Structure 1
Amino acid sequence: KYRIKIIKQENKGLTASLNTAMGLAKGKYIARMDADDISLPSRFKDSRKFLEDNNLDFISTQAERFIGNIEYNKVPRKRRDSTDINLKSLKYGNPFVHGTYFFKREIFDYMQYNEVYRTAQDYDFIVRLCKSGRYKVGYLNKSLYRLRIDENSSGRSINSSQLYNARKIAIEHFGTDRLLIPKYNGFRRLAISIWKRLAYEW
């Protein structure tokens, strides 16, 4: 019995591919990660234990961001476990790393990633999940995932589609654009700093 399945399809973008992969999943749980990141050895065991011990349906964990061989920082900067994630923690952006998502497959049966958003789909997903009130969402304050940082990535640009979509999601779900970034070049460095703080702290 094969544990790994290789799926060949035309390039439909990340969001549609996530929905395709989860639709084919047969297990009780779904774990998410990116190809260039690292799941630490105990990630699945510890994530499942925390989820089951606390009767949760979905969790995220802390992650270590790194550049090359240098650890950059750990995110989110929350200092304790939580078994009740509320919408207030998501109003200014998504503090959770997408690659740490671990949840019951039944959540996918209830809702999929919104394919309107080719980027920032994780932000929309977790906001809709919390707003639904159907599932218990928690956070494990333990680094179980290593997130590779590429400062030249288009996703980190001040004008990136990820930031643009995050703003649209904030407006759609919270009725206010709290991720607004000044367009003037003189504010560029400050704007990036503010956005990173809002996105990774809560």
Structure 2
Amino acid sequence: MIFEKITVVMSVYKNDNPDHFSVAVSSLLNQTYLPEEVIIVVDGQVSSDINSQLDFYSQNDIIKIIRLNENKGLANALNVGIRSANFPLIARMDSDDICFNDRFEKQIKAMYEYDLDIIGGQIIEFGKDVNDIISKRIVPCEHLEMIKLLKFRSPFSHPTILFKKKVFDVLEGYDASIFPEDYDFFVRAYLNKFKFGNVPDEILWFRLGENRSETIKRRWGITYAKNEFSLYKKFLKMNFFNYYDFFKVVFLKIPIRLLPFFMFKFVYYKMAR
């Protein structure tokens, strides 16, 4: 079987670690099913080390670099990158994660076998390096099970997804005014009748880093709670949530964001993921 060609879209910004970025890109270039194109969106100004790496990568025929004058966040960077893609399948990749070398081969085979529009997979979360395994994030694989989970949280690990560009076109991209933008994207995809799946295999090393507290702080606090509440109101307005669904997530999830941080950290790793 001849499969469609893949464009990988990733974003890099000023706080990214150059060494982690290099390993992430290398993992894309060593796939058993190689992407046809890798688009790196430079979200504002970056360090001299990353600029040097970008100069080196620009010599590779499959790597395309798009520079943005100012940092406007991940959703905007993804929209810019995906609109520039030349191929019908889009893969997400973060600038500090590491793909298993058969990630795309496994995903693209499953996408065609089960006639899927968006496919993700399982991840291993690590700290200092891939030998420092912290946890595994397991998500359901079947469409109906994923839809059940969608009422409470995202059924995908966002950095793992591979999807048909037509999904992005129909949805008119990520909503850069909402957060988390990926959860909103998947809900709108479901409402537009696109079919979901995850491969049961681990396909990506997800970097939590040595300081896990700093990693999850962005999902804690009043600002995150307000953003989450706005997202749930949007779900209610678009009739994805009924009032029961709305009040269920508001009363079960919003208070977790407002716990003292040491309590939030415990709950987040044990229950909220």
Q: TM-score range by the shorter chain?
A: 0.7 to 0.9
Matching of residue 116 in structure 1 with residue 177 in structure 2: yes
Indicate conservation of the 8 Å contact 2:97/2:206, yes or no. yes
How far is the alpha carbon of 1:12 from its aligned partner? 2.0
Q: What RMSD, in angstroms, separates the aligned Cα atoms of the two structures? A: 2.3
Aligned pairs for 1:179-190 within 5 A: 179-181=253-255, 183=258, 185=260, 188-190=261-263
Code of the residue aligned with 2:175 in structure 1: it is N
Instruction: Output the CA distance in 2 between the equivalents of 1:123 and 1:148.
Output: 20
Matching of residue 61 in structure 1 with residue 134 in structure 2: no
| TM-score after normalising by structure 2 | 0.64
Question: Larger C-alpha radius of gyration, 1 or 2?
Answer: 2
1:117-174 CA distances to partner (integer Å, 9 max, x unpaired)?
2x411111111111222x1111211100111004213654521755543343234313
Question: 1:7 aligns to what?
Answer: 66
| Runs (5+) with no aligned partner, structure 1 | none
Matching of residue 139 in structure 1 with residue 198 in structure 2: yes
Question: 1:148 aligns to what?
Answer: 207
| Runs (5+) with no aligned partner, structure 2 | 1-59, 236-240
Indicate conservation of the 8 Å contact 1:76/1:95, yes or no. no
Instruction: Output the CA distance in 1 between the equivalents of 2:128 and 2:234.
Output: 37
How far is the alpha carbon of 1:5 from its aligned partner? 0.2
Question: 1:97 aligns to what?
Answer: 157
Instruction: Output the CA distance in 1 between the equivalents of 2:149 and 2:159.
Output: 18
Question: 1:194 aligns to what?
Answer: 267
Q: Equivalent pairs: percent with the same residue? A: 27
Indicate conservation of the 8 Å contact 2:120/2:197, yes or no. yes
Indicate conservation of the 8 Å contact 1:58/1:101, yes or no. yes
CA distance 1:48–1:13, change in 2 (3 Å): same
1:47-75 CA distances to partner (integer Å, 9 max, x unpaired)?
10000011111111111111113111111
Code of the residue aligned with 1:144 in structure 2: it is I
Instruction: Output the CA distance in 1 between the equivalents of 2:146 and 2:155.
Output: 12
Question: 1:129 aligns to what?
Answer: 189
CA distance 1:138–1:85, change in 2 (3 Å): farther
Structure (1/2) with the larger helix percentage: 2
Instruction: Output the CA distance in 1 between the equivalents of 2:228 and 2:269.
Output: 13
CA distance 1:62–1:160, change in 2 (3 Å): farther
Indicate conservation of the 8 Å contact 2:139/2:198, yes or no. no
Indicate conservation of the 8 Å contact 1:65/1:147, yes or no. yes
| TM-score after normalising by structure 1 | 0.84
Code of the residue aligned with 2:96 in structure 1: it is D
Q: Number of aligned pairs?
A: 194
